[in-house]
Amino acid sequence: MEQLSNRRVRDLLRRDRDRTIETLDLLLQKDRQEFPLKYEETLATKTSTKELQSMLPAVVELMEARFGIAWPTLPRIHRSVLPATTLTVCGGELLKGTAIMSYFINVCQPLVGLPSSNAVLYLATASLFAEFTLFPQTHYNSLSGAITIGCCYGHPVDGSVAHEAVHHLQHAYGSSTLPWKRAFLEGHARGMARGYIDQRFLETDDHMYRSFTKVTVDEREAVRNWLDGKRRVPGAHALGNALFSIKEYAEGPGIYKDVLLGKPVFS
């Protein structure tokens, strides 16, 4: 699949700064019209592993129909059993526990290499850490091919399942797990999951699905303010979300399939 570096994502957003800001403003205006963005955090939604396993095929089936691309395999999925923990890392950015573990695994995996017994032992140990979810933030582990779902605050859990299922699809199409290519993957997953969420809202008229709009607005605003010189560089999710939002606005949702097929969507 096509995959750009974080630096390239930033460069593309800055290349035509005024037009990027203009498009983001149009998208933000549309978001605010569709959903008033009054957001109240509700009690954490806890879904059992059995419920998640039953939910996953329907989530994937809807996305396959919407985007015209099939999942070669389904990931394993389970629920985290521990309360969420948050750690502060470099730059003051907050990462939840499992995200840190997954980041550690995904960064080290391609660097360790498999020929030596030490590397095999390391990878086996890392996989065990991920499987027993010592840190319970929602994430996809490309090493074990499993999704862990933590607590979902104020929105339906299937939206999170959709996002992580896209990461499994990306991995099947040869995505890199290197951290300096993360923004592109997160933007791609954000966009496909947003397509799922929009479809579910149309089918159910359940306004809980619109709570995901709050995340989208926050990320688009972060990028807009960065381009306007009002804040530091946003995180990978925000950068990727903005890049794919603008491209989808210009060319339609077919870009998500094209990226997986390796077509030069952003060249």
pLDDT at 134: 42
Please indicate, yes or no, if residue 267 is contained in any of the structural domains: no
Using CA atoms, how far apart are residues 12 and 6, in angstroms rounded to an integer?
A: 10
pLDDT at 156: 81
Please indicate, yes or no, if residue 252 is contained in any of the structural domains: yes
Mean pLDDT by 10 residues, the chain (267 residues): 92 95 94 65 66 94 96 90 41 39 48 45 47 58 85 76 95 87 94 94 83 85 94 92 96 96 91
Domain count, the chain: 1
pLDDT at 82: 52
Put simply, whether the predicted model's pTM sits higher than 0.85 gets the answer no
Helix residue ranges, H only, 178-211:
182-204
By CB atoms closer than 10 A (0-12, 13-18, 19+), residue 252 is exposed
**Which residues have C-beta within 8 Å of that of residue 207, sequence separation ≥ 6?**
35, 201
Please indicate, yes or no, if residue 194 is contained in any of the structural domains: yes
Please indicate, yes or no, if residue 265 is contained in any of the structural domains: no
Please indicate, yes or no, if residue 245 is contained in any of the structural domains: yes
Q: Which amino acid is at 11?
A: D
Using CA atoms, how far apart are residues 236 and 213, in angstroms rounded to an integer?
A: 18
As a whole number of Å, the end-to-end CA separation of the chain is 13
Please indicate, yes or no, if residue 1 is contained in any of the structural domains: no
Please indicate, yes or no, if residue 240 is contained in any of the structural domains: yes
pLDDT at 81: 61
Give the domain extent around 161.
6-260
Please indicate, yes or no, if residue 254 is contained in any of the structural domains: yes
Q: What angle do CA 108, 112, 117 make, to 5 degrees?
A: 130
pLDDT at 179: 81
